[in-house]
Amino acid sequence: MRWYNTPKGYLPSITSVLGRTSPDDKKESLENWRNAIGHEQANEITNEACRHGTAVHALMEHHFVGTAISD
């Protein structure tokens, strides 16, 4: 679980919150989606989503610690 040290104390990342509060049938739904569109396309979409998530995490971390973001 990822935590952010904020001025109001430690807060969990949204990814952590969503992962812990997802309905039990989510895994089955995701597998059905992968089968429907094909695993290769699902992997491309998943990888792109992961890149976006990583960028959001980086933005949040920089915001909380007050540092500039480099390219």
pLDDT score recorded for residue 45: 97
Cα dist from 67 to 14, 32, 62, 64, whole Å: 21, 41, 5, 8
Does pTM surpass 0.75? no
Please write the tens of the pLDDT for every residue from 17-66: 888 888 888 888 999 999 999 999 999 999 999 999 888 888 887 887 77
Decide if pLDDT at 15 tops 70.
Answer: yes
Count CA atoms within 13 Å of residue 33 on its CB side. Answer: 11
